[in-house]
Structure 1
């Protein structure tokens, strides 16, 4: 796909690379400002309404006029325009905005060549049914089986200094902003540090200390993780304020600063109101932590809150160590966090708060067995009676570790214990995390109703906590659940909204998960070009992905997008890489799913023996309900390969075993694959009446429960059977069910070629063949279909 660069005035805009240059110099912009420019440039043929722009950029129905005005002002400044001249971006009174500046567009990268089939009019006239696997669903259901489990790793951001055992009760009702955050939300910005390089940790450490203390007192403070994503290193003062104001609709901002003096430390904080009014607060003490605590007391006084008394306050040196560790974590420096823990004095290293952070660093870096062992040891030392909140945090960490180790029943039990402790305490952020983690496990176990209920509870708790990033993760999980139940059209807009939020905050792993989900949804809806576009968007980020499972997931989904766009060679390379690079000790599910996909590709290309070998290698490594649909796809490919090889008795034995297993799963899509295998076997053995009945039943089930690609898979198999039987009337009806996709989907187009060839309709065949050639890429068109059909037969009832 071509990458386009837009040129206007002195600027160039590369939307795919998310880069604006002015006079060839890169202009760093807040994500929402960039999105405003990109959307208006792309829709420059018309005026864009205010509500449309807000929905496209912020992903919500309402944003304050002030926030939108600031974004437009920043956009104009970035491109050298102004509200007075409006040479590029014009305000349309009482409506919205219109990009009026001249724009030229050029390709940044040449489009890859896609080879097509040549028409051979001398090809033989007989048209055998092409051997082609039914469209594989394994990549689609990798989402339901894997992505939800991955999402919890990104959710380790809940790590905070220990709150008091009995914090104040939350108010019964909380005013909400349009994005689900509290209407009186507070954002604490990174601190400006006027000291030595050794004190640089205070930029995030002091920020998180103030935010945590305020949140502990019951105030709606946004999570530090999201603020760090918006305010990058080097962004300070007014620029930091603008970055947060443009992206988030928060009422109060706290801008801290810390300075070393001859006697100690001075911490200053400005409490900034929506109108820009500042209320300065300051304290001096022997340490930055102590001065910060005094500033927090004065901030609480401004909000009419008293200072909660911790159940057991840590020593000052311990508090500083914890804040240093948290500062490293906020900066995504897991190696730095681990070094701080390992380099601490034994007495500090043995503190429960420090041990918990060490275990969570293990989980964040994929050391799940080590993290579980550390959490088990900590659980023995921290009882639910002495410190219920810390005990609940440890249980939630175990929930995550056990889930990733495949011990889902034990993970559920850990989540249950954490939730039981948290439901009676005012800990909405931790409770929301734990509900989300439990929902993930329910979803992996195909308990969709229970998962949906947990995600709904998580949404309520996280709205109270004021965490837009975690709300976006819940969005992503909920839409993945929708996809797992065949509701891709409903899930797609939610995934796109979550992706915009992840990209805005720079959460690359979460963005790639969401894009992988979008690829799967587009493929399920028979939208291969849109799937490839989502794949191309993520491809430029792949080198920045930290989690190897996320990398494998995205590569697998991209392989699917490439295959469905006819780029088979590139798809094969990606799948081969996944299989070759897999770690046998931990990557066996991903390796097996890649083998299933490669088996389908090989069967399409006529490499039947290889396809059978790959499918059989994969099947033993796909146990458990989360992999049922991938296993069903592999089993269907194996039975089809055996029939192509003429090994009918062996195929019959496999079909019987497949059918018996499918009946135990309770999954209608698994039963559908088994039904297609059974129908294909009946047809191969000459039991035409039974095959026809099975295909008709499969068609009914696909219409009731499946997405467009599922129905397309059945149409392809059923129509092939009917054409082989000579029942052209019924074949016309079945092929017509996929006709609306023939302009965009190769297999649907090829079905029309086969039908019109069999009917002898030369003009219709020629048009359909042109469409199939346009879509084919590297996918072969059977030679017999390239010869013009003979005389047109009568349209009879068939046999």
Structure 2
């Protein structure tokens, strides 16, 4: 394999292995500092912004300036550079940093192949040559640490759906993160003893099993894989979750021949890669495990009449060779059969075959179906099917059976499922209580995977409740736990949530690279539902940045929804996201058709929030088509749904759309009622950036009532709030009505200033283009007005252009 390294002075940087050497001697630095140096060198042709650097290296929004400053200071000190002299790492004021060492040399080096270890020579008889692979030390690829909208009256906004779904990135696969675990029989509260000489944590990952048996045993490929991973984890190893490994492989689950390929893509350079093989010989099962860390190989095998017993025995023998004490076994015959059934169900779910999982439960005996493990499996199947009521009932019934004293871990996993279901039902207090109880049960047990899921759940609840600082803190704890358990999927899921937090803070430019990195990782791991949510969040960010064609292109990646999710509830959100992107690009008929589909076919109870979003979209489209009566009707339908604090933007923008329609109908007094309602809501969260839409509604109402000075004052406040966010979408939505008011008042200079502020987006956003038309026309600049009108016509699509702006000479695109 080829590695790209960098030499400068006496230093040599290997970004893949995350190693920095001075004159051949390794320098001890945190991996984040080495990644920071590598990123600066890789982009040495330009300055790298501080936000870009933190997003690329840490992939998260809760990295303080202190952390970045400390990393730069320590790098300069280790490299012998002076901050005052600005050599090597130069500070570019107002931007960030740039690598400026001229003698930097890029070189390629072939990775060495380790000689055979004596341990391999002394190992038991190896597997056949077709199974055994000579493994070289694998270079480490830098990890991708990354992990809506009500519509403004002119163009659908990207942020209103955020209130309902922003934390869904954690919960789209929240149960899945512990899915395999939840189907296993809970181990005793006591963890396996670890010899003092053993390392604190050995990373490992288990590949799908090579099965040599009739087709009816194909389920062993993933089922035994997960059993081996479970036993190794109980023995004290940090084992990558099975779903993450399965997601790494292609849909056919072809197992790669090189362990280095696996380590590089899972970002685990020193992990043990375990390759299981099982063979049916007569009535006996032969189980063999080959494990390699790139330097040595270990082998363990077992034979038995019961394939699962043989697999556990071989795994225990491997644990002994790794210096670990195998966990105690207290299984009964019933539990072994239940475990086999659970493993088959887990394999079916990992493969995305929910119907097969249900059939396995139906085929089990009543005694097996009555075990807690299978009951929890059924609740999880219901969850991933979108049947949240059934999932909640199943989890609640299971909790009545599980004692916190005798089955704390299994009870915690049931609470995890219940909390996830409550979250989807918008029962936030109940969800938070379930996750909190799960944390209390699991923390004494040291079971990090389940604990991380519970912290992620609480973070999602905090985000939906607008407690963003709490959300970031909880996600940070979850991320640390996922890192400790070598869970790339869990890290990506948390990073996705952190990107959503940035969106809720009106920071789409910061959120976008984090979301894109998380989406890339989730796509690699083949987690379709979480990946689709990441794409929908990217659509939101792109729309807030006025990148309308890019948003539409992103939506095409998860379209049609039935190809990416088996959850009916989630498919409606995909449909809504696609409709918003279509409307933002002027394709109103297509957007209307999708929104109407949501209204006609979704459940009024289970899909109430997305139906409100669809009505809000239809109201905005009706306003764009010049049908104010239809606007009022759809807006009223949207506002009939009870929305919580997390849906504040949906409420504000929908009422603003309705207010504009009422103004066009001459029903100014009725519009005033809506404005007063919004003002009361603003008192609950005066510091929320979404208040700018309420101030905008106040301004338009004052203008409609003939109170020009009050209108201009309210407009100025709304524009000041929009400027504070720096979000292009917020600037144009205020500017589109503020500029005409300024021109009507004869304040052309102020109108021109706003036109200049939004001019960078005049070629990509209809509203920004129309602002240019109005201002240039008022200033008498005919040529500029014609150019801006040409841009507007190119962008309009099916949207009507204001008649008062068509007075310039008729030009065509």
1:230 to 248, 251, 265: 248
Q: Distance in 1 between matches of 2:196 and 2:640?
A: 53
Contact persistence 1:436–1:474 (CA under 8 A): yes
Q: Distance in 2 between matches of 1:437 and 1:428?
A: 14
Is 1:749 the counterpart of 2:769? The answer is: yes
Q: How far off is 1:300 after superposition?
A: 0.4
1:164 to 169, 188, 191: 188
Change (3 A) 1:706 1:713: same
SS of the residue 1:621 aligns to: coil
Q: How far off is 1:462 after superposition?
A: 0.8
Q: Distance in 2 between matches of 1:203 and 1:169?
A: 29
Is 1:684 the counterpart of 2:696? The answer is: no
Q: Distance in 2 between matches of 1:715 and 1:60?
A: 33
Q: How far off is 1:258 after superposition?
A: 0.7
2:312 to 278, 283, 293: 293
Aligned to 1:502: 522
Per-residue CA deviations over 1:677-729 (Å, capped at 9, x if unaligned) read 11111111111111111111111122224622112211112112112223222
Aligned to 1:714: 734
Q: Which runs of 5+ in 2 are unaligned?
A: 1-38, 59-103, 110-150
Aligned to 1:524: 544
Q: Distance in 2 between matches of 1:170 and 1:445?
A: 42
Q: How far off is 1:171 after superposition?
A: 11
Per-residue CA deviations over 1:627-679 (Å, capped at 9, x if unaligned) read 22101111111111111111112222222222223323446344222211111
Q: Distance in 1 between matches of 2:647 and 2:423?
A: 15
Aligned to 1:77: none
Aligned to 1:191: 209
Q: Which moved more, 1:437-446 or 1:725-734?
A: 725-734
Aligned to 2:106: 94
Is 1:634 the counterpart of 2:646? The answer is: no
Aligned to 2:532: 512
Aligned to 1:217: 235
Per-residue CA deviations over 1:119-147 (Å, capped at 9, x if unaligned) read xxxxxxxxxxxxx9644665422023224
Contact persistence 1:164–1:308 (CA under 8 A): no
Q: How far off is 1:245 after superposition?
A: 4.0
Q: How far off is 1:219 after superposition?
A: 0.3
Q: Distance in 2 between matches of 1:626 and 1:149?
A: 13
Per-residue CA deviations over 1:14-47 (Å, capped at 9, x if unaligned) read xxxxxxxxxxxxxxxxxxxxxxxxxxxxxxxxxx
Aligned to 2:627: 607
Contact persistence 2:506–2:689 (CA under 8 A): no
Contact persistence 1:133–1:640 (CA under 8 A): no
Contact persistence 1:168–1:426 (CA under 8 A): no
SS of the residue 1:702 aligns to: helix
Is 1:554 the counterpart of 2:578? The answer is: no
Q: What is the TM-score of this pair, normalised by structure 1?
A: 0.79
Contact persistence 2:620–2:657 (CA under 8 A): yes
Q: RMSD of the TM alignment (CA)?
A: 3.1
Q: How far off is 1:611 after superposition?
A: 0.7
Change (3 A) 1:487 1:174: farther
Aligned to 1:662: 682
Q: Distance in 2 between matches of 1:608 and 1:568?
A: 16
Is 1:460 the counterpart of 2:477? The answer is: no
Q: How many residues align?
A: 671
Per-residue CA deviations over 1:338-377 (Å, capped at 9, x if unaligned) read 2222322222222222222122222121222222222222
Aligned to 1:303: 322
Q: Which moved more, 1:192-201 or 1:338-347?
A: 338-347
SS of the residue 1:274 aligns to: coil
Change (3 A) 1:190 1:754: same
Is 1:140 the counterpart of 2:152? The answer is: no
- Counterpart mapping for 1:237-248 below 5 A: 238-239=256-257, 241=259, 244-248=262-266
Q: How far off is 1:309 after superposition?
A: 1.3
Is 1:149 the counterpart of 2:149? The answer is: no
Contact persistence 1:527–1:744 (CA under 8 A): yes
Q: Which moved more, 1:132-141 or 1:514-523?
A: 132-141
Q: Distance in 2 between matches of 1:234 and 1:595?
A: 41
Q: Distance in 1 between matches of 2:572 and 2:235?
A: 42
Q: What is the TM-score of this pair, normalised by structure 2?
A: 0.77
Contact persistence 1:49–1:95 (CA under 8 A): no
Q: Distance in 2 between matches of 1:458 and 1:172?
A: 28
Q: How far off is 1:560 after superposition?
A: 2.2
- Counterpart mapping for 1:249-398 below 5 A: 249-250=267-268, 251-275=271-295, 277-310=296-329, 315-398=335-418
Per-residue CA deviations over 1:260-302 (Å, capped at 9, x if unaligned) read 1124110011112325x54332111111111111111111012
Q: How far off is 1:431 after superposition?
A: 0.5
Q: Which moved more, 1:639-648 or 1:504-513?
A: 504-513
Contact persistence 2:154–2:767 (CA under 8 A): no
Aligned to 1:427: 447
Q: Which runs of 5+ in 1 are unaligned?
A: 1-47, 63-91, 98-131, 177-181, 791-799
Q: Distance in 2 between matches of 1:234 and 1:484?
A: 39
